[in-house]
Every structure is written in C-alpha cells, then in structure tokens.
Chain A
Amino acid sequence: MRVYFEFMKKAVKNSVAYRFNIWARMLGDLAFIIMWISVWAALYQGHSDMNGITMQNALLYVMITQLLISCNHAAYPIGRMEGLVREGRISSEILKPYDFITRCIAEDSGQIFSYFILSGFPVFMITFQFMNIGLPIGPLKVLLFIYSALCGCMIKYFIELSFGLLSLWFIQTRIQPIFSFTISLFSGAAVPLWFFPDWLENIANVLPFKGIYFVPSAIFTGQLQGSQLQHELLVQGMWVVASFLLLRWMWATASKRVVVQGG
C-alpha cells in the first residue's frame, strides 16, 4: 500500500512543480467555461425554459461539467499505455514488484487531485461567484454529487485504460478519435442529454458513458430526484464494477501476451 501512496505523492509533486503549466491550464479551463456559458446563454435568448430546463439549470450544468472535464483530463491513460508499448517499457513494468494497474490508478489519481485543487476548483468557484447562480441542492445532494462524480471518473479511467491496453494487440490510435468522440458525445460533455432527440437518448441510456458527466452534473443542478436518482446511481455503480472487471480481465490477458512474446 505504501508504495502506491508514494506514487501518488510523486505525481502530486510533479504537477505542482511546473507552475507555468498550472497558469496555462487555468486560462484554458476559464476559456472553455466562458465559451460554453456564452453559447448556452445565447441559445436561451428568448426562451425561458426548454423541455423544463431553465437557463440557470443549463448554465450550472456546463459549469460543473467543465470542472469535471478539467479534472478527468488531468489523466491520460491512453497516451500513457501507448507510450509504454511504443518505447517497450511495458515489459519491464510487468517484472516490477507492484501491481501495474494499481500503480497507474495511484499516480493518475494524484494528478487528478492536484489539478482539481490547483485549476478546476478555483476556476469553477470564480465563475460560480461571478455568475451569481444559487446552489439548487442541499448538503446531502452535494455528497451524492461528489460520490457520483468519483464513480464517473472511475468509469472513464477504467474504460480508457482498457482501450489503451489494446495497443498491445494493434495500433489503436487509428480508432482513437472515434472512441474519444463517442465518449464525449454520450457522456454529455458538450450537450446535456436533456436536449438529445429520443432515439439518441435511448442509445445513451444503454451505454456506460452518461455516468461520466451527465449523471453527476444532473444531480448537481437538482434535476435528478427520487427513484430516478436511485436508479441512475445504481446503474452507475454497476458500470464502475463492470468497467473495472473489464480492465482487470484485459490486463490479465495482456500481461500474459507480453510474457509469451518476450520469452
């Protein structure tokens, strides 16, 4: 356990070390938040609400989603795997006396945490104060939101790391743009699922990706309540387990493959 904690600490130290990067990142986060706020505010001109979603709901949605996106993007498991395979370092990773997957998780959660503290959260708080939108939910819902956001983070990370492992079989970067766009579309990163046409929403409902951004952000805006909320949280939890099992299974298969090739 201590080893993984050290990895996490090292990752935090690393991201704090490049102060210039932090400033650049904050500016980029701010630009995206302002962009989406402006877009939705402009779309809502002349509409008081759309499908029961008010402009305040939509603006709060994009702000909290941008915070989650900023944190989630702090880790880049696909690139990490691709680099390890390309440079051939993957084989030495297997020999080391720790579990490779847990090490990745420890390091990247350290990185995600430090970006949350250093960029995502302050940028969100500044815009939140500036926009003067009240928080529509109580402390219990805030806790549920945090739980849901963490689940979403895990779903995205496990799936992406599994996808990254594919590079042991073929050059998966070829299909990566399609993969990334699928995640971004069905997770509600750009447009919330509220505004999807029915057929597209039905597709989104059977995919794991809506748990990444849409579910936590919908909880944060107070749009998910009662039995619907319970249902979504349950489904999200199941996807966390499922994607973790997928990752474990892929890694078990992949590490065998590396050993066979190496021997």
Chain B
Amino acid sequence: MYIKLLQLQLKTLLEYRFAFFSQVLGIFIGYISTVIVYWLMFLRFDELNGWTFKETMYVYAFAALTINIAAIFFNHFKTMDQEIINGTFDKYLIRPHNVFFSYLISKFDVAEFANLFLSIAVLIYVIDVNHIHFTAVKIVFLFLGIIGAVLVNAGSLVLIGAVSFWTLKSESLYDTILWPAQFLSYLPMGIFPKIIQVLFTFVLPFAFISYYPSTITLDKVNILSAPGLAYSSIGIGIIFFLISLSVWNSGLKKYNGTGS
C-alpha cells in the first residue's frame, strides 16, 4: 500500500515540477552556503577546538545526511498545525489504521529524497578526504549512528507536530527553536558551554545527530568525558523517538476529546 501511495506522490510531483526543482535547488544552496561559511572561518584559523576543517565538514555532512533522511518521511509533521487548523487532519482519524501511521504515510517528500543522493555523495567525499581507516567495528557503528541520528531527527519533528495538538501553531516553533538547534548539531559539541552539552545529550539529544557518532569514525572518542555516549546513539535514538511518539499520541487523545 505504501508503494501505491508513493506512486501517487510521484505523479503529483510531475504536475508540480517547478516547485520540486526550486525545493531541490534550495537544499543544494543550503549545502554550498554552509561549506563556504566553514571555508571562510578556516581560512585564517586552522582548528576549531581540535577539529580541522575536514573533520568539521564530516560532522556537518553526517548531520545533513541524517536530517535529510528523516525529512523524507517526517517533513510534513512540521506543517501539521496547518492541517489541524484547516480541518484536513480529521480525515486521518477515520482511516482504518493507526492515526500516527496514516499521517506518516500520507506524504513522502520527493525533493528531500532526490537530495539524498547529494547528501550521500557529500558524506562519501568527506570520508575520502579525511582518509578514514575503516574497521568492522567502525562500519557497524557508522550505520547504527546513522539510524540513531535519523531517529533523533524524526523524533524532534514528531514532537514539533505534537505541539500543534495543544497550541495549534507549531511551525514557528520549528523556525525559532528546532532550526537553530539543528544548526548547533552541525558543529563539534565540545565548543559549547557544559550546560548546553548536557542539555543536548540528555534532554534534547541533538548531540547524537552527528557529534557523538562522528567521534567514532574520526578516532576522537578519547576527547569525550564519557566515551560510552559515542556508542549509545542507537539506544538514545530509539528512546527519544518513542517518547516523542507517546507525546504525539497523548496529544491526539486530547485532540479527539475536544473534537467531538
């Protein structure tokens, strides 16, 4: 059934080719601009708290890839408030499946999917220029790290959506809080004050979007005060996603209550 829906999405895409290409271009410019800003910073300075330009680019590329993957499936949670305000959200309530699942599969972001090829290419390129020596353990944790990070990103999008059950306006929350926070996750977390590191590890686990998993790939686990954190991405990702999901579901229950 999901495949069927996907085909339909692709068909609408062909109708709105123009919007699709502008979205892809926008994402592409986003990449280029971040690279240029990093390049300018490292033109005069050689290190960012012990991280070189190439290593910092790895942190960014890894974060961008996982944000990208999560956006393919979960991007429409950002605009869930619009659906609730317009009343179009109610159609998911009467579908024979679980409401969360119905809403999840209602949209598949094709532009983000197209962008996936770029994200993967960039990550492979950055891995190449960093001359990373891969071991079996590293490869396993690279993939576990990606899954964990995608879950953290997905969880935060679900959480943003969940807020709209209560306040009805969640997109501004994305612009003002989640977007800056994602920005922070592009950088080695070690440069930030301790309190932010703790916050982004245990409360909103954005440090797992790239920083902790990157330390394994780049042989930097020793700089962490708790090396175990680097290996716990997948666990943190699952826990955070499940918490977000349950917040979403309790929001739904409250929404059902007022709706009838």
Contacts and interface: CB of A to CB of B under 8 A. Distances in A.
Contacts of B40: 190-191, 195-196, 200
B30 interface: yes
B187 A28 contact: no
B32 to A, nearest CB: 8
Interface in B120-178: 167, 169, 172-173, 175-177
Contacts of A133: none
Nearest to B48: A42
B45 A47 contact: yes
Contacts of B85: none
B29 interface: yes
A177 interface: yes
B86 interface: no
Size bracket of the A interface: 35 or more
A43 interface: yes
A42 B187 CA distance: 11
Interface string A179-198: 00100110000110001110
B243 interface: no
Contact of A178 (B29, B41, B45): B29
A223 interface: no
A48 interface: no
A27 B175 CA distance: 11
A interface SS class = helix
Interface string A98-122: 0000000000000000000000000
B25 A177 contact: yes
B176 A38 contact: no
A35 B45 contact: no
Contacts of B8: none
A162 to B, nearest CB: 20
Contacts of A200: 40
A245 interface: no
Given A31-B181, A45-B49, A174-B22, A39 B187 contact: yes
Nearest to A24: B176
Contacts of A251: none
A35 B183 contact: yes
B257 interface: no
A181 B29 contact: yes
A21 interface: yes
A177 B30 contact: yes
Contact of B45 (A20, A50, A173, A196): A50
B159 to A, nearest CB: 14
Nearest to B173: A24
Nearest to A173: B22
Contacts of B26: 176-177
A85 to B, nearest CB: 15
B15 to A, nearest CB: 15
Contacts of A190: 37, 40
B48 A35 contact: no
A20 B192 contact: no
Interface string A18-35: 101100110110011011
A132 interface: no
Given A35-B184, A44-B45, A28 B37 contact: no
A125 interface: no
A31 B184 contact: yes
Contacts of B25: 174, 177
A151 B193 CA distance: 35
B12 interface: no
B44 interface: yes
B47 A45 contact: yes
Contact of B29 (A27, A42, A51, A177): A177
A38 B192 contact: yes
A-B complex: 3 closest residue pairs judged by Cβ atoms: A28-B176, A177-B29, A42-B191
Given A21-B172, A184-B33, 14 more contacts: A20-B167, A21-B169, A28-B179, A31-B181, A31-B184, A39-B48, A41-B191, A42-B48, A42-B49, A43-B41, A50-B44, A171-B18, A173-B22, A195-B43
Interface of A: 18, 20-21, 24-25, 27-28, 31-32, 34-35, 38-39, 41-47, 50-51, 171, 173-174, 176-178, 181, 184-185, 190-191, 195-197, 200
